[in-house]
């Protein structure tokens, strides 16, 4: 019976493996985007300190980046479970 069970459940296991891989790739992409936004914020602060941009330009850039970061954090499943 084990051989028959293995044959019958093989497609389901394959689909589950594919879904797990997709989930892992999405998590990695979110982490990479978060790191990218953090680096952009560092560069923005540096440009403000070196007076390469005005404070108004800094405020606008910071607002956009922080909004993107907030939306990423809000979309994380761990965050949604905590906020409930």
How do residues 9-19 score in pLDDT, each as one tens digit? 888 899 999 99
| Distance from C-alpha of 19 to C-alpha of 49, rounded to nearest angstrom | 45
SS3 per-residue string spanning the chain = CHHHHHHHHHHHHHHHHHHHHHHHHHHHHHHHHHHHHHHHHHHHHHHHHCCCCCHHHHHHHHHHHHHHHHHHHHHCHHHHHHHC
How do residues 53-82 score in pLDDT, each as one tens digit? 999 999 999 999 999 999 988 887 664 444
pLDDT at 84 over 60: no
**pLDDT classification of 7: cutoffs 50, 70, 90:** confident
């Amino acid at each position: 019976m084990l051989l028959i069970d293995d044959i019958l459940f093989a497609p389901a296991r394959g689909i589950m493996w594919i879904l797990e891989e997709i989930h892992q790739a999405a998590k990695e992409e979110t982490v990479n985007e978060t790191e990218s936004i953090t680096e952009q914020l560092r560069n923005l602060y540096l440009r403000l300190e070196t007076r390469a941009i005005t404070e108004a330009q800094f405020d606008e850039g910071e607002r956009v980046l922080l909004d993107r970061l907030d939306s990423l954090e809000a979309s994380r499943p761990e965050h949604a479970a905590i906020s409930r």
